[in-house]
Amino acid sequence: MNGDYQTVPDTNLTSQDHEICVAVATPPGQSGIAVIRLSGKGAAELVDPVFKPVSKRFPPVFSMPGYTCAVGKIISPVTGELIDQVVLTRFTAPHSYTGEEVIELSCHGSLAIKQSLIDLILSLGARAAEPGEFTKRAFLNGKLDLIQAEAVIDLIQAETDRSARNAAALLQGELSQQMMFISDSLYQLLASIELVLEYPEHDESDTVTAQLAAGLDLIEQKINRYVQGFSQGRILTEGMTVVLAGRPNAGKSSLLNALANTERAIVTDVPGTTRDTIEIKIDIDGIPVHLVDTAGVRETEDTVEKLGVARTRDVLQSADLVFWLIAPPVDHLQEDQTIMEQLQLQSLVPLVSKDDLNESLALRQAIEACWPDQTIMTCSVITGEGLDAIRKKVIETYESLGAQAQNDVLLTNSRHKACLDSALLSVRKAREALHDGITWDIIASLVRGSLDALAELTGDAVSDTLVDTIFSRFCVGK
């Protein structure tokens, strides 16, 4: 690097001495254009020697003001060949995503061009960024709070529309903001308690008691709504597990294929072909769904199949929704009924498959007799009938999970959930204690416990475990 160039003035927000790291910031694969991002002090000096602006009116890269672009060619210093024509955008610290000096190259999105550009920049002395490193730097430089940083990871990994929308809301700081409101209300309650405790001779406790009861109640409801939202939010990051189960040869694999429009599962008409579970990810109206095809459940002598059946039972227990496929003929219905009762699953929906077969009407009537309260669903992969109803059922199940929840932004992260659970427990105990006439020192202690938990959620309080958990997601290298 040329030492004569004037470097960007350092500011308090900038972390020092970070090496310059580089990575393709757009998704992998071929695309129209792609963005290559360099972050770290000296990034402008690093790329300047290989960037030839198309017009003389563009200053050297290191003299460009922040938030300005230049069009130019990237020339290999070794061969003198043109690698690509790019748009270069300069960001100065701390006004960038990472809070550091950042250069972004918008290049053409072919794999070969991206690779050549990255190789070139590495050869100039940058280091390949680790997964999540830009976000890690943004967090460390105070550009993102913890929830936002975690949301970035979620956003990158989001597979469906709904997941992405929620992660974006988290990134905007909506959850952090809501948690701050709750903390503020708790602090106000705590302050009024402390006033009474600190100045016992200036007794104003009567007004405070009423204020306290109402306040705790409201906060409890508020936190609870976010906690409830986790059952939906969890699905947005982890996916909803929808299991197709039933006795062997009930048509599970065919249905899986029909729903997925693929040939992922192997379909034959020999009972027991699917001996292990098969899982594919599909998107149903923006809901990420893990569709699981299972081994048929029945008593069996085949060892391999037996293992498959055992695994099926495990999968069923953890499923969000189970479709129990029942195919004609009607004679096996008794066995189906026994197995379903044994499983005792809440979210189990009987589904008559192969509805195109002759015996299905008799089967439907027999099932209605068995489960008079249930709406009987039917489907046929041959005619395509009933597939939309199945999709609709998935959406309904997802939405019913959110009935109690706050809908603006959903809790998606189990770490957040654990913190909020703990905050909720403390507030609930405080409310009960107040009701039971327990002394105020205890109530104050419980309110503090709740505030601790919220602070851990937003990252305002750093605990040991917190740092470990989070940074395992950010791949902090040595």
Partner 1 sequence: MKNVTAALSASGAYLAGEYDIIVIGTGHAGCEAALASARLGRQTLILGMNLDTVANMPCNPNIGGTAKGQLVREIDALGGEMGRAADRAMIQFRMLNASRGPAVLSPRAQIDRRLYQQIMKETLEKTDRLDVRQGEVIELLVDADGHELRIEGVRLRTEAIYRCKSVILATGTFLESRIIIGDCQYSGGPDSQFAAHGLSESLRDLGLLLQRFKTGTPARINRRSVDFTPMEQQDGDPIPFAFSYENEENPPINPDEQIPCYLTWTTSQTRAVIEQNLDRSPLLSGVIEGVGPRYCPSIEDKYVKFPDKERHQIFLEPMGRNTEEMYLQGLSSSMPEDVQLIMVRSLPGLQSARIMRSAYAIEYDCLDPRLLQMSLEVRGITGLFSAGQINGTSGYEEAAGQGLIAGINAVRKLNDKEPVILDRSQAYIGVLIDDLITKGTTEPYRMMTARAEYRLVLRQDNADARLTPIGRSVGLIDQARWDHFQIKQERIQTEIERCRNIRIRPSAESDAVMRSLGTVPLRQPASLADLLKRPEIHYEDLEVLDPDRPSLSRVEQTAVEVSIKYEGYIRLEEERIGQFRKLERKSIPDSIDYRLIKGLRIEAQQKLSRQRPISIGQAKRISGVSPADLAVLLIYLQSLKRDDEEGKRG
Q: Interface with partner 1 by CB under 8 A: which residues?
A: 10, 12-18, 137, 139-142, 146, 194, 196-202, 426, 429, 433, 436-442, 444-446, 448-449, 452, 459-464, 467, 470-471, 476, 478
Spatial contact of 144 and 154, defined as CB atoms under 8 Å apart = no
Residue 35 CB, nearest distance to partner 1 (Å)?
A: 24
Query: For residues 51 and 97, which CB has a smaller minimum distance to partner 1 in the complex?
Result: 97
Query: For residues 206 and 269, which CB has a smaller minimum distance to partner 1 in the complex?
Result: 206
Query: For residues 179 and 470, which CB has a smaller minimum distance to partner 1 in the complex?
Result: 470
Exposure string over 160-196, b if 16+ CB within 10 A, otherwise e: bebbbbbbbbbbebbbbebbeebbeebeebbebbeeb
Tokens representing 241? 């597990």
Residue 12 CB, nearest distance to partner 1 (Å)?
A: 5
Distance CA 456, CA 183 (A): 11
Query: For residues 324 and 440, which CB has a smaller minimum distance to partner 1 in the complex?
Result: 440
Query: For residues 56 and 478, which CB has a smaller minimum distance to partner 1 in the complex?
Result: 478
Spatial contact of 212 and 179, defined as CB atoms under 8 Å apart = no
245, with CB counted inside 10 A (0-12, 13-18, 19+), is buried
Residue 213 CB, nearest distance to partner 1 (Å)?
A: 16
Parallel/antiparallel/unpaired status of strands 278-284 and 127-128: unpaired
Distance CA 36, CA 20 (A): 13
Query: For residues 18 and 290, which CB has a smaller minimum distance to partner 1 in the complex?
Result: 18
Residues contacting residue 236 through CB under 8 Å, at least 6 positions apart: 158, 160, 162, 163, 166, 167, 287, 288, 410, 412
At 147, which amino acid appears? I
Residue 478 CB, nearest distance to partner 1 (Å)?
A: 6
Tokens representing 372? 């008079």
3-state secondary structure 199-235: CCCCCCHHHHHHHHHHHHHHHHHHHHHHHHHHHHHHH
Query: For residues 286 and 449, which CB has a smaller minimum distance to partner 1 in the complex?
Result: 449
Closest to 130 (Cα-Cα) out of 18, 8, 41: 18
Residue 423 CB, nearest distance to partner 1 (Å)?
A: 13
Residue 19 CB, nearest distance to partner 1 (Å)?
A: 8
Spatial contact of 52 and 73, defined as CB atoms under 8 Å apart = yes
Exposure string over 318-344, b if 16+ CB within 10 A, otherwise e: ebbbbbbbbbbebebbeebbebbeebe
Distance CA 417, CA 411 (A): 7
Query: For residues 10 and 302, which CB has a smaller minimum distance to partner 1 in the complex?
Result: 10
Residue 105 CB, nearest distance to partner 1 (Å)?
A: 25
- φ, ψ for residue 15, nearest 5 deg: -75, 155
Spatial contact of 42 and 78, defined as CB atoms under 8 Å apart = no
Query: For residues 164 and 438, which CB has a smaller minimum distance to partner 1 in the complex?
Result: 438
Question: Which residue reads 């081994």 in tokens?
Answer: 295
Distance of alpha carbon 4 from its chain centroid, rounded?
47
Query: For residues 56 and 202, which CB has a smaller minimum distance to partner 1 in the complex?
Result: 202
Question: Which residue reads 């609870």 in tokens?
Answer: 224
Residue 182 CB, nearest distance to partner 1 (Å)?
A: 18
Query: For residues 4 and 206, which CB has a smaller minimum distance to partner 1 in the complex?
Result: 206
Residue 153 CB, nearest distance to partner 1 (Å)?
A: 15
Query: For residues 87 and 476, which CB has a smaller minimum distance to partner 1 in the complex?
Result: 476
Residue 205 CB, nearest distance to partner 1 (Å)?
A: 8
Q: Which of the 8 DSSP states describes residue 15?
A: P
**Which three-class secondary structure state does DSSP give residue 460?**
coil
Residue 448 CB, nearest distance to partner 1 (Å)?
A: 6
Residue 202 CB, nearest distance to partner 1 (Å)?
A: 6
